[in-house]
Amino acid sequence: MPAPVVHTSSSSKQEPEPSKAAAYLDQAKDGSRIYISYALEVLKSPLAAAQRTGSEQLVNGVISIVLFTLLIPLLVYIMIGSNGRNLIEYSIGRSPFTEIVLKPWFWLLVLTGLSAVYTAGAVKLSSSSNVHIKEVIARYGTLLVPFIALMMISSLLISMGTSLGSMLLIIGLVGAYFTVPALIITGYFNQAGRGNMDVLYSILLVYAALLVTNMLIGRSLMSMIVNGLGF
């Protein structure tokens, strides 16, 4: 009598795929928990947390920068409303999410990244600290955490239809780009002592660099938003 033929299932070959997906999901959950814990700790005392922040918090700092720059165009997207988004899509024939959120988000990332670079340069000029740019980026992201919380409150108020939400958006946007560099520069000055340039002049130098950068990038950013709005 011939031996029975045993059919091997191909599902056993596909078992690693679900396990990989589960591993990635677990890593994402762990990363989210770590960042939330980090953000809650920062919110208790932002300045003190920034003073303690080193380059080991670079990943969390980058996440903060990404979240902050994403929330700004998202809030504009929410403010327009569903009727406005439908009208924009009909007018330009393209996805309003791409035009209003994704493209401006890229330019805001560039602007914020350059702001961190300018701040690192100002720190080296105004203090005797031999700081690495990774540490400055980490501190920059740490000090953005309160503004991220402000943006989230703003999004809630905007969705409720109150004008206070748009005011908080402006406060968060202006406050972040003007407050964070100044706090980082003065923080390193207090820790390491005076460098080759006065702190006030180094802060003004960062503001001037941001102004020039905003004039260059801002044109592209505003044109994207205006085109995205269908004007």
What's the pLDDT tens digit per position in 20-49? Answer: 777 777 777 888 899 999 999 999 999 999
What mean pLDDT is reported for the chain? 82
Domain-embedded: residue 219 = yes
Q: What is the structure's pLDDT at 98?
A: 78
Domain that holds residue 194: 57-228
Domain-embedded: residue 124 = yes
Domain count, the chain: 1
Residue 202 has pLDDT above 80, yes or no: yes
Q: What is the structure's pLDDT at 46?
A: 94
Domain-embedded: residue 49 = no
What's the pLDDT tens digit per position in 69-122? Answer: 999 888 888 877 666 666 666 666 667 787 778 888 988 899 999 999 999 999
Domain-embedded: residue 71 = yes
Q: What DSSP string describes 144-200?
A: HHHHHHHHHHHHHHHHTT-THHHHHHHHHHHHHHHHHHHHHHHHHHHHH-B-SS-HH
Domain-embedded: residue 48 = no
Using DSSP's 3-state secondary structure scheme, residue 93 falls into: coil
Q: What is the structure's pLDDT at 85?
A: 66
Domain-embedded: residue 221 = yes
Domain-embedded: residue 43 = no
